[in-house]
Amino acid sequence: MNRPDTDVLVLGGGPAAAWAALAAAGAGARVVLADKGYCGTSGPTASGGNNLWYVPPDAEARARAVGERFEQGGRLADRRTMARVLDETYRRVDDLASFGYPFPVDEDGVERRASLQGPEYMKRMRRRVHRSGVTILDHHPALRLLVDDWGVAAGAAGIARQKGGETWTVRAGAVVLATGGCAFLSGAFGTNVDTGDGHLMAAELGAELSGMEFSSAYAFSPAHGSHTKGLMMQFATYYTEQGVPIDVPDPLGARVRVAERLAAGEKVYARLDKAPPRLHEAMRHAQPNYFLPLDKAGIDPFRDRYELRMVLEGTVRGTGGLRITGDDCATTVPGLYAAGDVATRELVSGAVSGGGAYNGAWAISSGTWAGRGAAGFAVGRARPHAVPAGRAGLRPGLLDAATVIRAVQDEMLPLDRNLFRTRDGLRGSLASLDALWERITSQGIAGTGRERLRARSAAAMTAHARWSYRAALARPESRGMHRLENLPQLPRYEHRRLVGGLDEPWTAVEPEEAPA
């Protein structure tokens, strides 16, 4: 199936994709949006609650918010970008109110705009995107980008999942990638579409990545659930299997202390007994899916202890992603823009998790900027000859996709590999992953039709893992979520780590280190 040319092609179906499509259409571009799932329901936002980094336009409050976050992020963020995110998010949430989003109202009659219900949010975004004239292609995962004779991203090709794997191609003047991060199919709620496909497609055109060492984001989930939460756990007391309280340094710093016990094979339990009773219903309203499995098991988490596990969320809550080179979220590939979790969030979150409020605000802001930037690049631009790019996982071969995925997970999911990193451990994992990549590219992955998506995702996860660990090995310190052999943070090493390449990965620092 070949579609007519369009100005802007948006790949993805979460909030960043929706805001990008709206912005591009608002700038006068013809827009096609192709989603791996069903736009409005796929991805972690649509299935849960979404906090926002939302600060009204009070100069002192915003300066304080930016300053605090800058320090929390290990001083790797960019204050100017952070301020832009606050401003853009505030204005776009006004738009969301005009779309009819039912913000709750406090006792003073003021709308509470710092938290969104995912289903309500994304239902309205889909409706707005549709009414703006955007062509939506649901269940149309992209497998590869098109590139023209000048090295410009010029569209994409993929398969229609509900049409037996029928192929499709859309030519475009510019492409916005909003395909999400990579959670390595860890089972974290809503992240089954986040396999790093967009990163691989972009790298095949020469895109660079940044912050990939900050990919070790794990979050707490009930042991028999998959819904992960971070901020809510500030109200938790943690217990051993014998019911003895675990001493944690501070509520938000409990992650490492609990992870140490889980990595040692111990069981850990939690109880949300520090939550004020007046907040109980609000917490249930904001995060209903977190409480659902507990309620079904007859557990009142405010009263009863429940077993925990930690689930890897990779670069969905981590900060690594495609390097951004301008205010319009352009990547290092002309005509290719990035929004949401596929883009680096180092500029906002530095070395710490961009999950929750910061990611929510970044999705809105970066989507808006990328959509406008892509429209400005594409409208009126000629369409030179273009061809599909990429090879890994695209041609049927010998390897089994499920086996490849398990091999990647063996290196990425364990706490003692990814959270508590050692140089020897990283080198060992990279040796295995590099060998796996060589087999993928030389032997291929089995499957035809719709199975090509799984094969391609297996290749993307492998590439993602290699970039993550290569960047981790190159950072000579611990900073933020990157913990290397308990090494201290180096006060003067305030550099970002860039990484790129496929067969021959490379790393670099930004800004460059001054000569001694």
What's the DSSP call for residue 209? Answer: E
Element housing 271 (H / E): strand 268-271
Place of tokens 């994709």: 17
User: Residue 271: pLDDT band by 50, 70, 90 thresholds?
Assistant: very high
Whether the per-residue pLDDT at 270 is higher than 70: the answer is yes
User: Residue 289: pLDDT band by 50, 70, 90 thresholds?
Assistant: confident
Instruction: Give the separation between CA 11 and CA 339, rounded to whole angstroms.
Output: 10
Per-residue pLDDT reduced to its tens digit, 239-258: 999 999 998 877 667 888 99
What percentage of the chain exceeds 90 in pLDDT? 80
- Please tell me whether residue 23 adopts helix, strand or coil conformation: helix
Whether the per-residue pLDDT at 505 is higher than 80: the answer is yes
Mean pLDDT of 138-162: 96
Among residues 264, 229, 231, the alpha carbon closest in space to that of 246 is found at 264
Mean pLDDT of 297-309: 94
Residue of 402 and 165 predicted with greater confidence = 402
Whether the per-residue pLDDT at 514 is higher than 70: the answer is no
Per-residue pLDDT at 226: 80
Same CATH topology for 219-312 and 401-485: the answer is no
Q: Do the Cβ atoms of 9 and 381 come closer than 8 Å?
A: no
User: Residue 224: pLDDT band by 50, 70, 90 thresholds?
Assistant: confident
User: Residue 353: pLDDT band by 50, 70, 90 thresholds?
Assistant: confident
Whether the per-residue pLDDT at 492 is higher than 90: the answer is no
Place of tokens 């780590």: 497
Whether the per-residue pLDDT at 236 is higher than 80: the answer is yes
Please state, rounded to an integer, the average pLDDT across all residues of the chain: 93
What's the DSSP call for residue 320? Answer: -
Per-residue pLDDT at 383: 84
The one-letter code for the residue type at 147 is V
Q: How far is CA 205 from each of CA 145, 174, 222, rounded to the nearest angstrom?
A: 8, 13, 40
Residue of 49 and 505 predicted with greater confidence = 505
Element housing 137 (H / E): strand 135-137
Q: Where are the domains of the chain?
A: 5-214+315-388, 219-312, 401-485
Per-residue pLDDT at 50: 82
Q: How far is CA 476 from each of CA 414, 429, 487, rounded to the nearest angstrom?
A: 22, 18, 8
Question: Under 8 Å CB-to-CB from 19, ≥6 apart: which residues?
Answer: 92, 125, 339, 363, 364, 367, 368, 371
Q: Do the Cβ atoms of 257 and 248 come closer than 8 Å?
A: yes
Q: Do the Cβ atoms of 2 and 32 come closer than 8 Å?
A: no
What's the DSSP call for residue 4? Answer: P
Instruction: Give the separation between CA 12 and CA 476, rounded to whole angstroms.
Output: 35
CATH fold label, 219-312: Flavocytochrome C3; Chain A, domain 1 (3.90.700)
Instruction: Give the separation between CA 372 and CA 236, rounded to whole angstroms.
Output: 42
Enter the CATH code of domain 5-214+315-388: 3.50.50.60
The one-letter code for the residue type at 391 is R
Q: Chain-centre distance of CA 247, in angstroms?
A: 31
User: Residue 320: pLDDT band by 50, 70, 90 thresholds?
Assistant: very high
The one-letter code for the residue type at 271 is R
Instruction: Give the separation between CA 186 and CA 499, rounded to whole angstroms.
Output: 24
Per-residue pLDDT reduced to its tens digit, 325-351: 999 999 999 999 999 999 999 999 999
Mean pLDDT of 40-60: 89
What percentage of the chain exceeds 70 in pLDDT? 98
Enter the CATH code of domain 401-485: 1.20.58.100
Instruction: Give the separation between CA 212 and CA 507, rounded to whole angstroms.
Output: 10
Among residues 233, 239, 209, 213, the alpha carbon closest in space to that of 221 is found at 233
Q: How many CB atoms lie within 10 A of CB 404?
A: 24
Mean pLDDT of 194-198: 97
Mean pLDDT of 372-384: 94
What's the DSSP call for residue 385? Answer: -
Per-residue pLDDT reduced to its tens digit, 18-41: 999 999 999 999 999 999 999 999
Whether the per-residue pLDDT at 384 is higher than 90: the answer is no
Whether the per-residue pLDDT at 6 is higher than 80: the answer is yes
The first and second tokens of residue 400, run together, are 């089994």
Per-residue pLDDT at 3: 62
Per-residue pLDDT reduced to its tens digit, 428-468: 999 999 999 999 999 999 988 889 999 999 999 999 999 99
Whether the per-residue pLDDT at 498 is higher than 80: the answer is yes
Per-residue pLDDT reduced to its tens digit, 61-93: 999 999 999 999 999 999 999 999 999 999 999
Mean pLDDT of 371-391: 94
